[in-house]
């Protein structure tokens, strides 16, 4: 028969085993959650690594693109441009000898004009491919020069302001080139697609970032629709890709008939 | 009996709770939960038979033993499904179930509760739970363990097995025909019934959490 001390032993054994069981359940809950947390952190780290690799690949691709632009510009300027100049000189000599024949002289002058136009085009393409002003004089002056050129070729009016940035202030080469290319893209979009009459560009330096505001009074667009369209959203995605390399952000506010406002922030 | 041992009545009524929840959410039951439902239905059938025989003042320890025997078989089947991600664990489950079933057959008793068989069954169930918990913490496939039905099934079986193992191990002193009425009432009428009640509540949670299964497992 069971006496009271045996009963105490049985109940104590039961209690100990029960506590061990409950302890095991609690341990499994806590341990599993910790393991899960670790797994998510590892996945997050992997994703960050993957993003960083993509960013580096994109950066390399953009660098290669710029190098290729330099090569093409150099070839155009040094080889095609030089050849055209020599052809023009040779043609001038030929034209002097043909002064007596009136019809031939008229044709000759037309051909010389075509040659001059070709030389001018080669120079322009060469300059556009590589913004030499950017490399030599910095962002503000090169943007200014670019806007003046576009202004001459279009009917739109441009306003360019720079606050907190002096005309000769220099930034990281990648940042300068990215902003310059973005301005080219935005101005091109505003003139080509938006039919803007007034374009305002503002570059501001604020502590440790550059803020670039671009506003036009064009016809605007449905941002969400353009963003999700693989064909028409290409320019926007290109700008985002370029910005991702330098950890910049872009915000576009637009609606049909209400113009477009683009805000770009780049850490420096 | 119900008036003298209200916990016995409460435990028997609570056994219907997981069945009701399972039937209510029957469209979302996974194969493990269907096996568990089958387990509960057999349990309730035997429980009713035990009530009827007790009311008729007939000896019914053999019914309790058969119930345990059938329960062990279904529990083995249940854990065979639960640990299906590992063939080795499945083999361990089959082996332990066979040992427990054979032990139940050889130690079967018509007159007494087969305490040693019950003890071995509880130890085997604890082993099953260990195997399952090992899978949970090594495979890391569940995003929220508290919404994972098999976890609650294992928690229920573990608490019930741990809580009652000593009662069955010392069955001659606790729940045999020679045990003093007061002690029998303490161990079987109160403690065991309290664990059955807890077991059924935890199994009800398992059925209730079945609605989260899809989004919870990777």
Q: Which of A130, A145, A166 is the last residue of a domain?
A: A130
**The pLDDT value given to residue A153:** 79
Angle subtended at Cα B179 by Cα B173 and Cα B182, rounded to the nearest 5 degrees: 110
- The distance from CA A120 to its chain's CA centroid, rounded to whole angstroms, is 28
Mean pLDDT throughout B108-122? 88
Closest Cβ opposite residue B136 in set A2, A20, A28: A28
Query: Of A92 and A15, which is predicted with more confidence?
Result: A15
Q: How far apart are the CA of A51 and the nearest CA of chain B, in angstroms?
A: 23
Q: How far apart are the CA of A74 and the nearest CA of chain B, in angstroms?
A: 56
Same domain, A124 and A19: yes
- Residue A15, domain extent: 1-130
Instruction: State the Cα–Cα distance between residues A87 and A111, nearest whole angstrom.
Output: 11
Q: What is the ipTM of this complex?
A: 0.89
Six-digit token string for B187: 């161990």
Kindly report, residue by residue over A121-164, the tens digit of the pLDDT: 888 787 777 777 888 888 899 889 888 888 887 888 899 988 88
Mutate to test the interface with A, among B170, B177, B199 (most CBs of A within 10 A): B170
Q: How far apart are the CA of B134 and the nearest CA of chain A, in angstroms?
A: 9
List, in order, residues 6 or more apart from A43 with CB less than 8 Å away: none
DSSP B100-159: HHHHHHHT--SSS--HHHHHHHHHHHHHHHHHHHHHHHHH--BS-GGG-HHHHHHHHHHH
* Torsion angle defined by CA atoms of residues A26, A30, A32 and A36, in that order, rounded to the nearest 10 degrees: 160
Across A53-67, A89-103, A182-196, A247-261, least confident range: A89-103
**The pLDDT value given to residue A2:** 53
Interface of A with B in 87-116 (CB under 8 A): none
Q: Between A and B, how many CB-CB pairs are < 8 A?
A: 67
- Predicted confidence band at A107 (pLDDT cuts at 50, 70, 90)? confident
**The pLDDT value given to residue A95:** 76
Closest chain A residue by Cα to residue B176: A1
Closest Cβ opposite residue A13 in set B166, B183, B191: B166
Six-digit token string for A10: 């049985």
**The pLDDT value given to residue B1:** 45
Same domain, A191 and A120: no
Query: Of A212 and A62, which is predicted with more confidence?
Result: A212
Same domain, A18 and A126: yes
Q: What is the CATH number of the domain that holds A217?
A: 3.30.565.10
Q: Residue A78 pLDDT more than 90?
A: no
Whether residue A21 and residue B162 make contact (CB cut-off 8 A), yes or no, is yes
Long-range contacts of A205-209 (CB under 8 A, 24+ apart): A205/A163, A205/A164, A205/A165, A205/A169, A205/A268, A206/A164, A208/A267, A208/A268, A209/A265, A209/A266, A209/A267, A209/A268
- Predicted confidence band at A17 (pLDDT cuts at 50, 70, 90)? very high
Same domain, A105 and A166: no
Same domain, A95 and A213: no
Closest Cβ opposite residue B159 in set A7, A10, A21: A21
Instruction: State the Cα–Cα distance between residues B99 and B70, nearest whole angstrom.
Output: 14
- Chain B environment of A20 (Cβ under 8 Å): 162
Q: Residue B2 pLDDT more than 50?
A: no
Same domain, A82 and A56: yes
**The pLDDT value given to residue A4:** 63
Q: Determine the 3-state secondary structure of A257 from DSSP.
A: coil
Q: Which of A112, A130, A148 is the last residue of a domain?
A: A130
- Chain A environment of B122 (Cβ under 8 Å): none
Across A189-193, A202-206, B208-212, least confident range: A189-193
Whether residue A28 and residue B183 make contact (CB cut-off 8 A), yes or no, is no
Instruction: State the Cα–Cα distance between residues B173 and B170, nearest whole angstrom.
Output: 6
Closest chain A residue by Cα to residue B152: A25
Q: Residue A1 pLDDT more than 60?
A: no
- The distance from CA A216 to its chain's CA centroid, rounded to whole angstroms, is 19
**The pLDDT value given to residue B203:** 95
DSSP state of A217: -
E-strand stretches of chain A: 157-163, 198-206, 209-216, 249-254, 260-267
E-strand stretches of A64-219: 157-163, 198-206, 209-216
Across A223-237, B24-38, B80-94, B109-123, least confident range: A223-237
- Predicted confidence band at B132 (pLDDT cuts at 50, 70, 90)? very high
Same domain, A170 and A237: yes
- Predicted confidence band at A195 (pLDDT cuts at 50, 70, 90)? confident
**The pLDDT value given to residue B66:** 93
Structural domain count, chain A:
2
Q: Is A220 left (phi over 0), alpha (psi -120 to 50) or beta?
A: left
Closest Cβ opposite residue B158 in set A6, A25, A36: A25
Six-digit token string for A86: 């020599």
Same domain, A6 and A126: yes
Same domain, A93 and A188: no
- Chain A environment of B183 (Cβ under 8 Å): 2, 7
H or E segment to which residue B181 belongs: helix B181-184
Kindly report, residue by residue over A160-178, the tens digit of the pLDDT: 988 888 888 888 888 888 8
Whether residue A14 and residue B170 make contact (CB cut-off 8 A), yes or no, is no
Q: Which of A130, A148, A175 is the last residue of a domain?
A: A130
The average confidence (pLDDT) of chain B is 89
- Predicted confidence band at A99 (pLDDT cuts at 50, 70, 90)? low
Mean pLDDT throughout B168-197? 84
Mean pLDDT throughout A179-195? 86
Q: Is B56 in CB contact (< 8 Å) with chain A? A: no
From the number of C-beta atoms within 10 Å of its C-beta (0-12, 13-18, 19+), residue A52 rates as exposed
Q: Residue A91 pLDDT more than 90?
A: no
Kindly report, residue by residue over B24-58, the tens digit of the pLDDT: 988 888 999 999 999 999 999 999 999 899 888 88
Mutate to test the interface with B, among A12, A16, A17 (most CBs of B within 10 A): A17
Same domain, A17 and A123: yes
Same domain, A223 and A244: yes
Same domain, A89 and A15: yes
């Amino acid at each position: 028969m069971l006496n009271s001390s045996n009963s105490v032993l049985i109940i104590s054994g039961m209690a100990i085993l029960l506590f061990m069981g409950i302890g095991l359940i609690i341990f499994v809950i806590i341990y599993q959650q910790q393991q899960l947390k670790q797994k998510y952190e590892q996945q997050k780290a992997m994703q960050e690594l993957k993003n960083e690799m993509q960013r580096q690949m994109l950066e390399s691709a953009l660098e290669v693109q710029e190098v290729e632009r330099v090569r093409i510009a150099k070839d155009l300027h040094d080889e095609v441009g030089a050849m055209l100049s020599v052809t023009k000189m040779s043609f001038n000599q030929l034209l002097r000898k043909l002064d007596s024949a009136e019809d031939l002289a008229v044709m000759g002058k037309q051909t010389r004009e075509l040659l001059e136009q070709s030389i001018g085009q080669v120079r322009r393409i060469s300059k556009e491919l590589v913004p030499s002003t950017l490399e030599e004089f910095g962002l503000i002056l090169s943007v200014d020069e670019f806007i003046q050129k576009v202004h001459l070729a279009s009917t739109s009016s441009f306003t360019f302001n720079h606050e907190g940035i002096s005309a000769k202030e220099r930034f990281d080469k990648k940042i300068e080139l990215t902003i310059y290319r973005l301005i080219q893209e935005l101005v091109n979009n505003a003139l080509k697609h938006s039919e803007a009459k007034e374009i305002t560009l503002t570059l501001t330096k604020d502590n440790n970032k550059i803020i670039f505001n671009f506003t036009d009074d064009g016809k605007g667009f449905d941002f969400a629709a353009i963003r999700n369209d693989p064909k028409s959203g290409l320019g926007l995605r290109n700008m985002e890709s370029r910005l991702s390399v330098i950890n910049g952000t872009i915000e576009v506010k637009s609606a049909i008939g209400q113009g477009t406002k683009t805000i770009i922030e780049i850490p420096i | 009996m119900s008036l003298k041992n209200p916990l016995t009545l409460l435990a028997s009524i609570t056994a219907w709770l997981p069945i009701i929840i399972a039937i209510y959410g029957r469209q979302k039951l996974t194969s493990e939960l269907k096996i568990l439902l089958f387990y509960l239905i057999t349990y309730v059938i035997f429980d009713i038979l035990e009530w009827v025989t007790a009311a008729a003042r007939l000896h019914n320890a053999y019914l309790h033993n058969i119930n345990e025997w059938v329960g062990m078989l279904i529990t083995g089947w249940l854990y065979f499904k639960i640990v299906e991600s590992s063939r080795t664990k499945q083999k361990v489950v089959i082996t332990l179930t066979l040992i427990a079933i054979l032990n139940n057959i050889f130690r079967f008793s018509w007159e007494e509760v087969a305490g040693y068989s019950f003890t071995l069954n509880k130890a085997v169930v604890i082993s099953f739970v260990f195997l399952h918990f090992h899978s949970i913490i090594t495979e890391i496939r569940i995003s929220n363990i508290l919404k994972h039905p098999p976890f609650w099934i294992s928690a229920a079986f573990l608490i019930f097995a741990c809580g009652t193992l000593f009662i069955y191990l010392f069955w001659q002193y606790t729940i045999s025909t020679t045990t003093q009425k007061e002690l029998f009432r303490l161990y079987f009428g109160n403690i065991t019934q309290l664990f059955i009640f807890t077991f059924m509540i935890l199994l009800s949670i398992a059925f209730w959490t079945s609605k989260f299964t899809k989004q919870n497992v990777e």
